[in-house]
């Protein structure tokens, strides 16, 4: 192969989001750097061309290596592939087919990212820099227009104008409640009290959600910039970023970003030569889901157990240490610089009547392309799950999607064409939450899923008020009985009754929504509950006591695949002969069901 010198303009972006790191992203980066350093003809510093970036979104296919300016994206790259990438692609200018993204529907290999359906249908505002820049580099952030919004706000706008612009944009809190951001700021600015505080809620506690993480570790300066602009607008002097305990990478990159921003005069005293003093510190969460609730989070910053309080007076009037406090979630902050630079009208041109802009979802579970997806508000669930997410893998059938985290609800197939925004989801018995979307296939038992979430919430509730604590205890008791085949006909009404009490009487948002998983599955999958109770049968074949798996003698082609994967060796059968499941040994894990190419393993 004719070897050419490596183009000095080449930039190699290596995804070092949490997902890719787990799959060996750091090793790929190290191999690239050392591989490039060994090329004597390299005219540029090797470390300048192999760059760390935040999450590329399509996490299941990681680690990603994206080569610019050619715009070639390689997936599932391992350190051992690096030598070949350097030799064939960087020096030889040819593609390595096996590392390209394969579109299984179109049955073709794709090299350019924008041609992949997963990316093609997205609209990136909040994630504009994530995966594009080195999150540790303030210069790269500024090259992409970073801190221009701050300059514009400070130099050309009054604090009132900033608030008015945010209000006019129609931005609503991305953390769950959907409260209008501008109104929050206005109410804080209108108080007579000071000092005032600003808090970024990065306590992303929903299982199955990692969009805030991707922004904190992929584009930390956007968060800082949003907060500094708010500090100017409402007259705050101190800010706190409350980061979920588990997010090591986020903490590290935010720390670096704060340090760099201070050094450049974006934080500290006399910011940009104006009389604005503002600084930010990081507070690490203690591992409590309830701290996503803003009054609980504030208690946690104060050094107390994170128990919420009644919000008859909002934190914008009495928040941290009793002072006026604006608290917004990570994604909300990231949208602020865009609104200031491009204007409220431009922001509001995307989205629906009541929900403006875009929303980032983490689409996970039984979906082909798990990852982060940013789409305009009002995009249908079908587009997100099927066109972007690639649909349900392994030829299984879509059953439901859980939105809004543990206290969200499950939406069935009939709801797939619903445009997603704050209000439509609430009407469907679920909620936006912070944007988790967990796709479930027909091998998911909705009663068991409701039990799982209720169990999660029973441990995560703060335990302060009766309806939430005792309601969850009772729900869990009843659901567990149903899953074990000991349900009574009256149980379903009782579940609804308790759920209603929790919704109306609980102290905080967590308690008021904690029955959603039960109520929404009861609403859409009542027959499945009934089958558990009256026929003592789990139609999805999940609840062990109510499930029997068997192999259909006609469908089975004797391929032995199920025999190989059965963890308890409960399946016997020779090649090309019908296999049989030993009922005694079978633990109903369902591995055979998902492995069988003939769909011959059935649930009785």
Partner 1 sequence: MRVKINGQEIEAAAGETILEAARRHDIPIPTLCYHAAFGGQGHCRLCLVEVAAQGDKRLVASCTYPITAEIEVSTSTPLIERLRGDIIRLLYRQAPGSELMQDLAREYGCLDEFITEDNREQERCILCRLCVNACTALGASAISAVLRGVDKKIATPYDEASEACLGCGACAHICPTGAIPLQDEGGNRTIWKRDFELLPCEVCGRPFITPEQRDYLIARQDDLDTGLLCDDCRRTRVARQMEPFR
Partner 2 sequence: MTAELRKEETAEEFHKLIQGYPPEKRYIIPIMHELRRCYQYLPRPALEMLADHMQVPFSQVYGVATFYKAFSLVPKGRVNLKLCDGTTCHIKGSQGLIDEIYRTLGIRPGETTGDRQFSLETVNCIGACALAPALIVDEKVYAQVSNARLQEIIEQNRRGEDGTESN
Instruction: Name the site residues for partner 1 (rule: CB under 8 A).
Output: 288, 290, 305, 309-310, 312-313, 457-467, 469-474, 476-477, 481, 497-498, 501, 504-507
247 interface partner picked from partner 2, partner 1, none, CB below 5 to 8 A per type: partner 2
CA 244, 298, 294, 342: dihedral to nearest 10 degrees? Answer: -80
**Residue 356 near residue 410, CB atoms below 8 Å:** no
Residue 567 binds partner 2 (CB under 8 A): yes
For 386, residues 6+ apart whose C-beta sits below 8 A from its C-beta are none
Taking the least distance from each CB to partner 2, the nearer of 51 and 215 is 215
112 interface partner picked from partner 2, partner 1, none, CB below 5 to 8 A per type: none
Taking the least distance from each CB to partner 2, the nearer of 325 and 402 is 402
496-512 core/surface letters (b: 16 or more CB in 10 A; e: else): eebbebbbeebbbbbbb
> Which pairing describes strands 436-441 and 409-412: parallel, antiparallel, or unpaired?
unpaired
Stretch that binds partner 2, among 186-194, 301-309, 419-427, 476-484 (CB under 8 A): 301-309
> Which pairing describes strands 358-365 and 371-376: parallel, antiparallel, or unpaired?
antiparallel
- Binding characters for partner 2, 370-389, by CB under 8 A (x = yes): xx------------------
Entry field: residues in the chain: 604
DSSP letters spanning 372-395: EEEEETT-BHHIIIIIIT---STT
Least separation, in Å, of the C-beta of 286 and partner 2?
A: 3
CA 92, 94, 100, 104: dihedral to nearest 10 degrees? Answer: -160
Least separation, in Å, of the C-beta of 201 and partner 2?
A: 15
473 interface partner picked from partner 2, partner 1, none, CB below 5 to 8 A per type: partner 1
Least separation, in Å, of the C-beta of 589 and partner 2?
A: 6
SS3 state at 481: helix
Among 66, 284, 532, 537, binds partner 2 (CB under 8 A): 284
Taking the least distance from each CB to partner 2, the nearer of 344 and 586 is 586
Taking the least distance from each CB to partner 2, the nearer of 136 and 246 is 246
Least separation, in Å, of the C-beta of 547 and partner 1?
A: 23
312 interface partner picked from partner 1, partner 2, none, CB below 5 to 8 A per type: partner 1
For 518, residues 6+ apart whose C-beta sits below 8 A from its C-beta are 450, 453, 454, 475, 479, 495, 499
470 interface partner picked from partner 1, partner 2, none, CB below 5 to 8 A per type: partner 1
Residue 303 binds partner 2 (CB under 8 A): yes
343 interface partner picked from partner 1, partner 2, none, CB below 5 to 8 A per type: none
Among 89, 402, 474, 547, binds partner 2 (CB under 8 A): 402
Please give the helix or strand (H or E) that residue 489 lies within, else none.
none
For 353, residues 6+ apart whose C-beta sits below 8 A from its C-beta are none
385 interface partner picked from partner 2, partner 1, none, CB below 5 to 8 A per type: none
Phi-psi category of residue 197: left, alpha or beta, with phi > 0 → left and psi -120 to 50 → alpha: beta
Residue 545 binds partner 2 (CB under 8 A): no
Taking the least distance from each CB to partner 2, the nearer of 179 and 565 is 565
Among 8, 195, 286, 490, binds partner 2 (CB under 8 A): 286
Residue 569 binds partner 2 (CB under 8 A): no
465 interface partner picked from partner 2, partner 1, none, CB below 5 to 8 A per type: partner 1
Among 306, 409, 433, 541, binds partner 2 (CB under 8 A): 306
Among 289, 333, 347, 361, binds partner 2 (CB under 8 A): 289
Span 125-164, contacts to partner 2 by CB under 8 A = none
Least separation, in Å, of the C-beta of 61 and partner 2?
A: 8
The DSSP symbol for 312 reads S
Least separation, in Å, of the C-beta of 463 and partner 2?
A: 9
Residue 197 binds partner 2 (CB under 8 A): no
Phi-psi category of residue 305: left, alpha or beta, with phi > 0 → left and psi -120 to 50 → alpha: beta
- Total residues in contact with partner 2, by rule CB under 8 A: 54
- Binding characters for partner 2, 202-231, by CB under 8 A (x = yes): --xxxxxxx--x------------------
287 interface partner picked from partner 2, partner 1, none, CB below 5 to 8 A per type: partner 2
Distance CA 512, CA 467 (A): 9
Taking the least distance from each CB to partner 1, the nearer of 246 and 317 is 317
The burial of 5, by beta-carbon neighbours within 10 Å (0-12 exposed, 13-18 middle, 19 or more buried), is given as exposed
303 interface partner picked from partner 1, partner 2, none, CB below 5 to 8 A per type: partner 2
Taking the least distance from each CB to partner 1, the nearer of 320 and 465 is 465
The answer to whether the Cα torsion of 21, 22, 27, 32 is positive or negative is negative
Least separation, in Å, of the C-beta of 302 and partner 1?
A: 16
Owner of token pair 């996503």: 292
126-155 core/surface letters (b: 16 or more CB in 10 A; e: else): bbbbbbbbbbbbbebbeeeebbebbeebbe
Distance CA 183, CA 295 (A): 18
Residue 360 binds partner 2 (CB under 8 A): no
**Residue 538 near residue 485, CB atoms below 8 Å:** no
Q: Where are the alpha helices (DSSP H) in 441-490?
A: 446-460, 466-483
Least separation, in Å, of the C-beta of 379 and partner 1?
A: 32
**Residue 35 near residue 77, CB atoms below 8 Å:** no
Q: What are the Cα distances from residue 46, in Å, to 35, 38, 137?
A: 9, 9, 17
Least separation, in Å, of the C-beta of 210 and partner 2?
A: 3
353-379 core/surface letters (b: 16 or more CB in 10 A; e: else): eebbbbbbbbbbbbbbbbbbbbbbbbb
Taking the least distance from each CB to partner 1, the nearer of 486 and 560 is 486
Owner of token pair 């296919």: 61
Least separation, in Å, of the C-beta of 489 and partner 2?
A: 29
Distance CA 549, CA 587 (A): 10
Least separation, in Å, of the C-beta of 459 and partner 2?
A: 8
**Residues at the site binding partner 2, with contacts judged by CB under 8 A:** 18-19, 21-23, 59-60, 62, 204-210, 213, 245-248, 252, 283-289, 300-306, 362, 364-366, 370-371, 402, 406, 438, 440, 444, 449, 452-453, 456, 460, 462, 567, 589
């Amino acid at each position: 192969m004719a070897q050419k010198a490596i183009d000095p303009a080449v930039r190699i972006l290596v995804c070092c989001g949490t997902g890719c790191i787990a799959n060996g992203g750091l090793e790929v980066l190290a191999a690239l750097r050392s591989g490039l350093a060994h090329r004597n003809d390299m005219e540029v510093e090797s470390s300048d061309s192999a760059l760390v970036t935040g999450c590329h979104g399509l996490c299941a296919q990681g680690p990603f290596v994206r080569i610019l300016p050619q715009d070639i994206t390689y997936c599932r790259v391992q350190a051992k592939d690096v030598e070949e990438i350097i030799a064939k692609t960087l020096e030889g200018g040819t593609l390595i087919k096996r590392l390209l993204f394969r579109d299984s529907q179109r049955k073709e290999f794709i090299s350019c990212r924008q041609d992949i359906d997963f990316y093609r249908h997205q609209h990136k505002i909040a994630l504009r820099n994530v995966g594009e820049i080195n999150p540790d580099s303030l210069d790269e952030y500024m090259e992409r227009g970073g801190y221009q919004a701050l300059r514009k706000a400070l130099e050309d706008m009054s604090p009132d104008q900033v608030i008015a612009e945010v209000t006019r944009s129609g931005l609503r809190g991305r953390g769950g409640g959907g409260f209008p951001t501008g109104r929050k700021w206005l109410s804080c600015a209108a108080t007579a009290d000071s000092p005032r505080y600003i808090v970024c809620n990065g306590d992303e506690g929903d299982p199955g959600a990692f969009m805030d993480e991707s922004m904190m570790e992929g584009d930390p300066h956007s968060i800082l910039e949003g907060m500094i602009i708010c500090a100017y607008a409402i007259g705050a002097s101190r800010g706190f970023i409350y980061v979920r305990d588990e997010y090591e990478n986020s903490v590290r990159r935010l720390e670096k970003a704060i340090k760099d921003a201070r050094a450049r005069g974006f934080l500290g005293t006399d910011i940009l030569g104006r009389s604005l003093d503002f600084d930010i510190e990081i507070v690490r969460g203690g591992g409590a889901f309830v701290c996503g609730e803003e009054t609980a989070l504030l208690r946690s910053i104060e050094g107390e157990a994170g128990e919420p309080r009644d919000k008859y007076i909002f934190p914008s009037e009495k928040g941290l240490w009793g002072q006026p406090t604006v608290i917004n979630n990570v994604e909300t902050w990231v949208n602020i610089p865009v609104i200031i630079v491009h204007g409220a009208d431009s922001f509001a041109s995307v989205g629906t009547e009541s929900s403006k802009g875009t929303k980032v979802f983490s689409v996970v579970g039984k979906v082909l392309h798990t990852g982060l997806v940013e789409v305009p508000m009002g995009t249908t669930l079908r587009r997100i799950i099927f066109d972007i997410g690639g649909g349900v893998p392994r030829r299984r059938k879509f059953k439901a999607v859980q939105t809004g985290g543990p206290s969200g609800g499950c939406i069935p197939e009939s709801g797939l064409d619903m445009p997603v925004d704050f209000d439509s989801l609430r009407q469907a018995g679920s909620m936006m939450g912070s944007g988790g979307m967990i796709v479930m296939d027909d091998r998911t038992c909705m009663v068991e899923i409701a039990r799982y979430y209720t169990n999660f919430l029973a441990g995560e509730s703060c335990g302060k008020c009766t309806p939430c604590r005792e309601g969850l205890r009772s729900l869990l008791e009843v659901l567990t009985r149903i899953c074990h085949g000991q349900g009574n006909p009256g149980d379903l009404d009782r579940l609804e009754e308790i759920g209603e009490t929790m919704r109306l009487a609980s102290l905080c948002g967590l308690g008021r929504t904690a029955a959603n998983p039960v109520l929404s599955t009861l609403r859409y999958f009542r027959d499945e509950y009934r089958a558990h109770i009256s026929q003592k049968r789990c139609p999805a074949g999940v609840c062990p006591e109510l499930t029997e798996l068997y192999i259909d003698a006609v469908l089975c082609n004797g391929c032995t695949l199920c025999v190989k994967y059965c963890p308890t060796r409960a399946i016997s059968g020779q090649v090309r002969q019908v296999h049989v499941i030993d009922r005694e040994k079978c633990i109903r894990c369902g591995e055979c069901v998902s492995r069988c190419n003939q769909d011959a393993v059935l649930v009785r």
